[in-house]
Amino acid sequence: MKPFLDRDLRIAPIDVYVDPPQPRARAIITHGHADHARAGHGAVLATPDTIAIMKTRYGEDAAGRWEELPFGEKRDIDGVTVSLHPAGHILGSAQVLLEHRGQRIVVTGDYKRLPDRTAQPFELLACDLLVTEATFGLPVFQHPKPTDEIGRLLRSVAAFPERAHVIGCYALGKAQRVISLLRQAGYNAPIYLHGAMIRLCELYVERGIPLGDLRHSLDVPKAELAGQIVIAPPSAIKDRWSRRLPDPVLAVASGWMSVKQRARQSGVELPLVISDHADWNELRQTIGETGAGTVWVTHGREDALIYWSQQQGLAAEPLNIEAYEDGPEDEQ
């Protein structure tokens, strides 16, 4: 059966795109990260959380029209049934399920299956064609338990009471996840935020994700940050901003941090392997469990996942949707 989705993720019968990199008349957006959600589309269909995130980041008028579609609700668009289902990646992140003439297509967007209190839990969807992400699509990526990683962080905080711990995190999703994991581990002290983190943390709290006592790092004299945890974007922790911190331990929370040589080269003293993406084992598990006969791989290291899928007897090919920026500094 010929898929009704084009390789640039255009839903052919209705001329609607999923996560288009260029402005389009109609777009379905899986989640609020910049490499999936761009400003300037005519109409945006997404979950209420994702729309709230896009409005916060890009402004109320970043799309001509906003169409909220809550998780699990079906919407018929000229004969194609569209529904959004939790992807477990960040708040509001969705997989897109498309049904048309008996064919089921799932676009995962970015996803993970590990529990996360800041994102609605991943839902497995059976389909004929699976468009999967592959950010960590290599067998070297086997993410450890995030609770263990937070444990390492807390041990380091206890071991260096005279130093601040600054954690480089992407401002949307990762920052709130790390804060939430810390709270879950019983860390109830104030957590200090770089200015770039504040707006989105507030949004999460407004939308019902408790994050505890958060403070602006600017409001505090340097000495008082000793023994404290500060959250900042990765770009800030190695720049001038970090000079306001007392002898900081540089930590970065990202799936890329599993490669020690890489952490070392980028000067990260405490790499925390905390990822919001499926690791190699989850990617394979999901491909198998969806029952899809065809797999399109995008966003990341496609080669290995395609090779593996073909070994399993699946039809698999890469999508080259545009060079997305990703790398150790900004896992999105």
Residues that bind other proteins (CB under 8 A): 138-142, 144, 238-240, 242-243, 258-261, 263-264, 267-271, 301, 303-304, 307-308, 311
Least CB distance to other proteins at residue 321 (A): 21
The smaller minimum CB distance to other proteins, of residues 149 and 276, is found at 149
The smaller minimum CB distance to other proteins, of residues 55 and 152, is found at 152
**Distance, CA of 324 to CA of 311 (rounded, Å):** 27
The smaller minimum CB distance to other proteins, of residues 2 and 243, is found at 243
Least CB distance to other proteins at residue 317 (A): 17
Least CB distance to other proteins at residue 129 (A): 24
Least CB distance to other proteins at residue 167 (A): 15
Q: Distances in Å between the alpha carbon of 42 and those of 8, 14, 84, 87?
A: 18, 14, 20, 25
What is the 3-state secondary structure of 37-88? CCCCEEEEEECHHHHHHHHHHHCCCCEEEEEECCCCCEEEECCEEEEEEECC
The smaller minimum CB distance to other proteins, of residues 86 and 300, is found at 300
Which amino acid is residue 110, in one-letter code?
Answer: D
**Distance, CA of 221 to CA of 223 (rounded, Å):** 6
Least CB distance to other proteins at residue 309 (A): 12
The smaller minimum CB distance to other proteins, of residues 50 and 309, is found at 309
Least CB distance to other proteins at residue 300 (A): 11
The smaller minimum CB distance to other proteins, of residues 258 and 290, is found at 258
Which amino acid is residue 189, in one-letter code?
Answer: A
> Strands 249-253, 294-300: parallel, antiparallel or unpaired by DSSP?
unpaired
Q: Is 131:286 a contact under the CB 8 Å cutoff? A: no
Q: Which among 72, 73, 82 has a CA at the least distance from the CA of 27?
A: 82
Beta strands (DSSP E) in 194-310 are: 214-216, 229-232, 249-253, 270-272, 294-300
